């Protein structure tokens, strides 16, 4: 009986061990397959991004230059410093990490075949980064992080307007283009390393709480913003309507920061505001050219006309641009139908013209347009077209000079590229890029003067008929 028991016990233990071994092997095998498949998809994202840049970017860029920039992006975005490694797995070569990676990276991604077996060297590069290069780090670096860093580095080397957006950032961009989100109604930027309020939208929680432009946001929900990116700060501030968010703010002149607790709301990004400045002068300020801007502009214009408007001030200060079609629609209100508003020219010299199309334009309405150094892109298209057609007097300061067209191209994983694909040209064939729009009349506000010098000058030109003399002189 003892012998039989021993044999049964041994057989049972053997079966248990066998089952456990099969389970462990299966799990490891499946994890490896999933890991390999994930890395293959991530590598595919990089190769797609590389191909899209080469095909669509406005200038011809050598593949080797793009890949070198991608490697620099990995080093920079992962926040590392170059080191030397003595072995490169199967290669067993010595040298600076940058040289080794560049050589293998070039060999890997230059292949035109989509067979992932031929990308083994590139996988080895990622393995070295994740295991050898970061072996002393507490946090494991994922291959996706490396791929994104590579794409960021590649796109960053192109120009200041091209960009790479992660899936979350791409979603945020779509939200802003749509013009509605859950938040408190502020725009922010990072100035001198500090998250700073750049604009407060009217009739929003932030506006009602007394938050002002220029306020420094020190903490968001009791978390210091010192090491936060703009995207992280935006994600912390936005959220479901009716939920609370706390901001610790420091304002110039204050002795210490103050804490604001606000309740989030549905925030509609106002693309424009309008009002009567006096009994005869209408005013429309466009903050950004969004999808609904043209229809909102038409409605505002009709409302002002119903209020006996005889003159119009169009304010484009601090307007970063937006949708091209919205800009064309705005210009179409003031010049004859069928006239050239803007031309765009791509890398191959192909030109596409955008013409005015309003059925009953307001050709006789006296118009002054205000611009400044932050008026860019679509704002410059509007100002440039109205200036070239002698339809408005442009006042203020020279505009930003962003005369390039950015095209957003989604990638397979939900991220996206924003690439410069063409240049803008005014009706007279003048490139806006780097030059901007020079006003007909330079206006610089006086320090300490509470009056809006721009609007005061615009009203003076309109009410004293100086605008007509200026336009006749231009003609």
Distance CA 68, CA 48 (A): 17
Per-residue b or e along 305-316, where b marks 16 or more CB atoms closer than 10 Å to that residue's CB = eeeebebbbbbb
Residue 466 contacts residue 460 (beta carbons within 8 Å): yes
Write out the DSSP string of 408-471: EEE-TTS-EEEEEEEEEE-TT--B-TTT----SEE--PPTT--S-HHHHHHHHHHHTTHHHHHH
Pair of tokens at residue 278? 């006096």
DSSP structure class, residue 118: G
**DSSP type of residue 198:** E
Do 142 and 166 meet the contact criterion of CB atoms below 8 Å apart?
no
d(C-alpha 401, C-alpha 373), whole Å? 8
Active-site amino acid positions: 377, 388, 402
266: β partners? 182
Distance CA 240, CA 282 (A): 37
Query: Which phi and psi (to 5°) does residue 87 adopt?
Result: -145, 145
């Amino acid at each position: 009986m003892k012998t039989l028991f021993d044999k049964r016990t041994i057989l049972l233990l053997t079966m248990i061990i066998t089952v456990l071994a099969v389970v462990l092997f299966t799990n490891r095998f499946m994890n490896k397959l999933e890991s390999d498949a994930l890395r293959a998809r991530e590598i595919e994202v990089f190769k797609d991004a590389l191909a899209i840049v080469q095909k669509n970017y406005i200038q011809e860029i050598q593949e080797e230059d793009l890949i070198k920039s991608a490697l620099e992006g990995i080093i920079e975005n992962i926040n590392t410093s170059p080191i030397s490694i003595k072995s490169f797995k199967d290669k067993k070569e010595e040298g600076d990490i940058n040289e080794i990676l560049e050589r293998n990276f070039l060999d890997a991604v230059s292949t035109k075949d989509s067979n992932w077996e031929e990308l083994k060297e590139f996988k080895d590069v990622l393995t070295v980064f994740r295991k050898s290069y970061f072996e002393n780090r507490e946090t494991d670096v994922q291959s996706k992080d490396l791929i994104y860093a590579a794409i960021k580095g590649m796109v960053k080397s192109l120009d200041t307007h091209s960009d790479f957006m992660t899936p979350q950032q791409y979603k945020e961009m779509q939200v802003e283009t749509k013009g509605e989100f859950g938040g408190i109604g502020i725009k922010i930027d990072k100035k001198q390393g500090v998250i700073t309020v750049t604009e407060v939208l009217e009739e929003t929680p932030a506006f009602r709480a007394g938050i002002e432009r220029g306020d420094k946001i020190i903490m968001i929900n009791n978390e210091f913003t010192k090491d936060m990116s703009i995207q992280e700060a935006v994600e912390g501030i936005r959220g479901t309507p009716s939920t609370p968010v706390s901001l610790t703010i420091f304002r110039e002149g204050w002795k210490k920061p103050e804490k604001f607790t606000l309740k989030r709301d549905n925030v509609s990004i106002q693309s424009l505001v309008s009002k009567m400045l006096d009994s005869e002068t209408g005013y429309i300020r466009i903050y950004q050219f969004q999808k609904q801007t043209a229809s909102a502009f038409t409605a505002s214009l009709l409302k002002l006309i119903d209020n006996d408007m005889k003159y119009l001030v169009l304010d484009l200060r601090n307007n970063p641009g937006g949708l091209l079609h919205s800009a064309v629609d705005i210009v179409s209100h003031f010049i004859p139908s069928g006239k050239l508003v803007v031309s765009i020219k791509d890398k191959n010299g192909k030109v596409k013209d955008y013409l005015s199309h309003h059925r009953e334009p307001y050709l006789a309405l006296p118009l002054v347009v205000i611009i400044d150094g932050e008026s860019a892109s679509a704002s410059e298209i509007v100002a440039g077209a109205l200036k070239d057609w002698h339809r408005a007097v442009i006042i203020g300061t020279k505009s930003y000079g962003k005369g390039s067209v950015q095209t957003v191209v989604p990638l397979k994983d939900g991220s996206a590229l924003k690439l410069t694909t063409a240049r803008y040209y005014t009706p007279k064939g003048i490139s806006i890029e780097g030059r901007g729009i020079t006003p007909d009349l330079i206006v610089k506000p006086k320090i300490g003067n509470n009056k809006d010098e721009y609007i005061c000058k615009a009203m003076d030109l309109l009410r004293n008929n100086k605008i007509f003399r200026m336009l006749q002189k231009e003609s």
